[in-house]
Amino acid sequence: AQKVTQAQTEISVVEKEDVTLDCVYETRDTTYYLFWYKQPPSGELVFLIRRNSFDEQNEISGRYSWNFQKSTSSFNFTITASQVVDSAVYFCALEGGSEKLVFGKGTKLTVNP
């Protein structure tokens, strides 16, 4: 069975703070893909990143960075110098041999001015 755990239900920070959203996954598949999506208040999910299980390189995109560690089954997401526009619910998801995307329950991030 595949499972994604986002232990942080809600996080509140002040603008310009750095924040890390945790994601821990479980799978028996050797080939799998991990995703992060952002859901702003409008409701539509926005794709942020996809990583496959064979690529453990960390990735940086502007203020966003992702740390993938197979040894701890984690795929954490860091926002540097957070902004009010970063306020949203963030979902981590996993797709393995079942060919279905399994989502975590999400972390609601509030960035206060």
Partner 1 sequence: DGGITQSPKYLFRKEGQNVTLSCEQNLNHDAMYWYRQDPGQGLRLIYYSQIVNDFQKGDIAEGYSVSREKKESFPLTVTSAQKNPTAFYLCASSIAAGSGKYEQYFGPGTRLTVT
> Which stretches of the chain bind partner 1, using CB under 8 A?
4, 9, 32-33, 35, 37, 42-47, 50, 52, 91, 93, 95-96, 99-101, 103-106
Q: Among residues 42 and 113, whose Cβ is nearest to partner 1?
A: 42
Q: Among residues 14 and 40, whose Cβ is nearest to partner 1?
A: 40
Alpha helices in 17-97 (DSSP H): none
In the complex, what is the shortest distance from the CB of residue 26 to partner 1, in angstroms, rounded to a whole number? 14
> How many angstroms separate the CA atoms of 20 and 8, rounded?
10
In the complex, what is the shortest distance from the CB of residue 3 to partner 1, in angstroms, rounded to a whole number? 11
DSSP-derived secondary structure letter, 68: E
**Which pair of tokens denotes residue 16?**
């310009």
Helix (H) or strand (E) holding 62, with range, is: none
In the complex, what is the shortest distance from the CB of residue 12 to partner 1, in angstroms, rounded to a whole number? 16
Helix (H) or strand (E) holding 96, with range, is: none
